[in-house]
């Protein structure tokens, strides 16, 4: 499974890992809350409390390493070439 299915979860992970800003690779924040909830559901981020900022889990940190290449060098996640990058570790296709 490629990371393209989880493009905006990847944006949250990369933003936290590189800039401590989960929103920095979004062009628009209209769907951010939904993508954050998905990132939590697949286990790459967690929030200590409902109003707190997201933090990377160990799974998220492992995925962040894969997201640091030239495929994700552009400023907006919508322009990333994620077909050659694996999806989040431990996440099965049907999940």
85 located within any domain = no
CATH of the domain at 19: 1.10.10
53 located within any domain = yes
Task: Give tens-digit pLDDT for 47-84.
Answer: 988 888 999 999 999 999 999 989 998 899 999 999 88
Contacts of 25 (CB under 8 A, 6+ apart): 11, 14, 15, 75, 76, 77
45 located within any domain = yes
93 located within any domain = no
Domain that holds residue 44: 3-79
- pLDDT value at residue 95: 44
91 located within any domain = no
pTM of the model as a whole = 0.92
88 located within any domain = no
Total structural domains within the chain: 1
49 Ramachandran zone, left/alpha/beta (phi>0; psi -120 to 50): beta
């Amino acid at each position: 499974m490629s990371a393209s299915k989880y493009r905006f979860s990847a944006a949250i992970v990369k933003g936290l890992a590189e800039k401590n800003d989960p929103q920095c690779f979004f062009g628009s924040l209209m769907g951010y809350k939904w993508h954050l909830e998905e990132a939590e559901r697949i286990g790459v981020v967690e929030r200590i409390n409902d109003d707190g900022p997201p933090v990377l889990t160990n799974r998220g940190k492992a995925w962040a390493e894969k997201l640091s290449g030239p495929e994700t060098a552009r400023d907006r996640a919508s322009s990333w070439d994620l077909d050659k990058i694996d999806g989040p570790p431990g996440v099965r296709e049907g999940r």
